[in-house]
């Protein structure tokens, strides 16, 4: 065989290049493995000592079948493992762990583009012989980019199977031509194979293949059922969350109404004194404000949830947002006797955030820091560059958060138990909204806190040095 023919040799084409070629069938790795296993099952069941020539796909699962045969047959039979690449010690050790080294030969085939895309399993014995060839179809140029985009999908195969000894001999003769000269002896000049394979063996092989295919179908069906169950469970959980959410909303709206109803009934008392009347009117005013805050917060959250995924992102600079928000809250901090300061370097790169979302994040976190910091405390806002992210830190010397509560503070309507009445003035939705906004722009938030020492909220925002987190 000359060099050009050697470079173009294809086991798949050799199997088809006969007067009455076998019919190629579309296949896939799972079906190919099933076919291989059914052959091994038959050889083991009939205790047939055979010689193998194999070039299998990468992965231990394929060579495990050869090991299964040797284990069942007390290491009888000879296995010739063919490879295009240069055989190194590491590869030999890896497969030697799976196959008895006394009964295996490594056969290096000369570099060949056609053979690189092909796998084969050849078995020969006086009682039985078979050839399985699988080929990865060549993709057209226009389909290559599309195929690369479909990550995680296993490419399809075209497979051929035959039990005709003359075709197997023709294939082995071709492989002998592309084997390195010192190893060509593993391909016999005259293959020992049965002139006619017993019909009973063929029937058993077909039955085993059907069993394997049924097993594959059951596995596929079970996976689909499991996936549907998982989807149903997710839908159920989603409905349950919605029910819990509505229950929480009703409870939150009912509480101020109860207080208002109590105050109104007390105001109807004929013996009420002016100071008491004033106190009950103040209660009504406070609960009305709370009701308004709750409804406003709910509307903001519902609007955010409804439009978040379609809301566009914008590049903003912290130096354009933080100073203005801090100056707005300076009078509130001074009234409480709190020192409020910030450090935001102007050279920090811009960050991605939902349009108008960064200001709302800063407002919500700053409000919390001031709200839960007692008189004489301190609140700092500091920004810095950390790798490809900008970190914005809100640190205070407030009441802190118990470790058991940190995982709950981002839940809707959850309020930290501070022991004061001020913690009831909010809707309990501020941190929930912050987390939703950060999720949309690829950011994150973390919390460190100790009771009676203070809390630190750190948000991480994607900079303009990265691609847009979400379209």
Structural domain includes residue 87? yes
Of residues 426 and 103, more confidently modeled = 103
Give residue 416's pLDDT: 63
Give residue 413's pLDDT: 62
Per the structure, the complete domain to which residue 13 belongs is given by 3-197
In terms of domains, do 270 and 230 share one? yes
Structural domain includes residue 215? no
- Mark which of 309, 336, 359 sits at the end of a domain: 309
- At residue 90 the predicted structure's pLDDT band, cuts being 50, 70 and 90, is low
> Does the pLDDT value for residue 318 go beyond 80?
yes
pLDDT tens for 18-61 read 767 778 888 888 889 999 999 999 999 999 999 999 999 988 99
In terms of domains, do 445 and 303 share one? no
Give residue 324's pLDDT: 93
Structural domain includes residue 155? yes
Structural domain includes residue 203? no
* For range 290-299, the mean pLDDT: 71
Give residue 105's pLDDT: 84
- At residue 5 the predicted structure's pLDDT band, cuts being 50, 70 and 90, is low
pLDDT tens for 178-205 read 888 888 888 988 888 898 999 999 999 9
Give residue 379's pLDDT: 96
In terms of domains, do 234 and 158 share one? no
In terms of domains, do 373 and 227 share one? no
pLDDT tens for 204-260 read 999 999 998 888 889 889 999 999 999 999 888 877 766 776 676 677 677 778 888
* For range 355-383, the mean pLDDT: 91
Of residues 94 and 459, more confidently modeled = 459
- Mark which of 135, 164, 197 sits at the end of a domain: 197
* For range 278-283, the mean pLDDT: 85
Structural domain includes residue 98? yes
Give residue 465's pLDDT: 64
In terms of domains, do 291 and 396 share one? no
* For range 389-407, the mean pLDDT: 90
- Mark which of 287, 309, 331 sits at the end of a domain: 309
Look over the chain and give the mean of its residue pLDDT values, rounded to a whole number. Answer: 82
* For range 323-338, the mean pLDDT: 93
pLDDT tens for 146-186 read 444 444 454 578 999 999 999 999 999 999 988 888 888 88
For residue 57, give the CATH number of its domain. 3.30.870.10
pLDDT tens for 110-140 read 878 888 889 999 999 999 999 999 998 876 5
In terms of domains, do 276 and 404 share one? no
Task: Count the Cβ atoms, other than its own, within 10 Å of residue 463.
Answer: 17
- Phi/psi region, residue 402 (left: phi>0; alpha: psi -120 to 50; beta: rest), is beta
In terms of domains, do 153 and 275 share one? no
In terms of domains, do 300 and 325 share one? no
Give residue 347's pLDDT: 92
User: How far apart, in Å, are the Cα atoms of 319 and each of 348, 389, 395?
Assistant: 8, 15, 18
Give residue 205's pLDDT: 93
Structural domain includes residue 214? no
> Does the pLDDT value for residue 80 go beyond 90?
yes
Least confidently predicted of 294-308, 313-327, 420-434: 420-434
Give residue 147's pLDDT: 43
pLDDT tens for 370-390 read 989 999 999 999 999 988 889
For residue 332, give the CATH number of its domain. 3.30.565.10
Give residue 26's pLDDT: 86
Structural domain includes residue 208? no
In terms of domains, do 360 and 451 share one? yes
Structural domain includes residue 296? yes
Q: Are 353 and 443 in contact (CB under 8 A)?
A: yes
In terms of domains, do 328 and 303 share one? no
* For range 251-279, the mean pLDDT: 82
In terms of domains, do 170 and 265 share one? no
Number of compact structural domains in the chain: 3
In terms of domains, do 294 and 394 share one? no
């Amino acid at each position: 065989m000359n060099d050009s023919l050697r470079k173009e040799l294809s086991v798949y084409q050799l199997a088809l290049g006969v007067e009455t070629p076998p019919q190629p069938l579309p296949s896939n790795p799972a079906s190919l493995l099933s076919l291989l296993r059914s052959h091994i099952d038959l050889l083991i069941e009939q205790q047939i000592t055979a010689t193998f020539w194999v070039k299998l796909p990468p992965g231990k699962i394929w060579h495990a079948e050869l090991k299964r045969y040797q284990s069942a047959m007390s290491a009888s039979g000879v296995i010739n493992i063919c490879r295009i690449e240069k055989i190194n010690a590491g590869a030999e050790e890896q497969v030697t762990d799976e196959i008895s080294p006394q009964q295996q030969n490594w056969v290096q085939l000369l570099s060949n583009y056609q053979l690189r895309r092909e796998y084969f399993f050849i078995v020969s014995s006086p009682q039985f012989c078979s050839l399985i060839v699988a080929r990865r179809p060549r993709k057209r140029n226009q389909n290559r980019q599309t195929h690369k985009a479909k990550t995680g999908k296993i490419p399809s195969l075209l497979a051929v199977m035959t039990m005709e000894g003359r075709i197997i001999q023709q294939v082995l003769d071709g492989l002998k031509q592309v084997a390195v000269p010192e190893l060509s002896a593993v391909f016999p000049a005259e293959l020992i194979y049965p002139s006619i394979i017993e019909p009973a063996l063929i029937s058993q092989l077909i039955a085993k293949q059907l069993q394997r295919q049924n097993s594959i179908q059951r596995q596929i069906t079970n996976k689909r059922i499991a996936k549907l169950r998982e989807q149903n469970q997710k839908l159920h959980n989603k409905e349950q969350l919605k029910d819990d959410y509505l229950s929480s909303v009703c409870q939150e709206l009912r509480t101020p109404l109860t207080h208002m109803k109590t105050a109104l009934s007390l105001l109807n008392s004929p013996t009420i004194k002016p100071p008491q009347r004033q106190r009950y009117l103040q209660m009504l005013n406070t609960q009305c404000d709370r009701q308004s805050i709750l409804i406003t917060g709910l509307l903001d959250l519902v609007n955010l949830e409804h439009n978040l995924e379609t809301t566009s992102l914008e590049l903003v600079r912290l130096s354009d947002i933080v100073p203005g928000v801090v100056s707005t809250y300076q009078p509130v901090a001074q009234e409480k006797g709190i020192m409020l300061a910030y450090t935001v370097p102007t050279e920090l790169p811009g960050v991605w955030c939902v349009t108008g979302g960064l200001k709302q994040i800063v407002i919500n976190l700053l409000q919390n820091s001031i709200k839960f910091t007692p008189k004489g405390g301190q609140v700092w806002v500091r920004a810095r560059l950390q790798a490809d992210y900008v970190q914005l830190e809100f640190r205070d010397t407030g009441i802190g958060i118990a470790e058991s509560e940190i995982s709950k503070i981002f839940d809707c309507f959850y309020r930290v138990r501070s022991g004061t009445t001020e913690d009831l003035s909010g809707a309990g939705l501020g941190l929930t909204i912050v987390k939703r906004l950060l999720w949309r722009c690829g950011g994150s938030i973390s919390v460190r806190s100790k009771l009676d020492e203070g809390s630190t909220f750190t948000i991480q925002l994607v900079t303009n040095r990265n691609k847009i987190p979400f379209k």
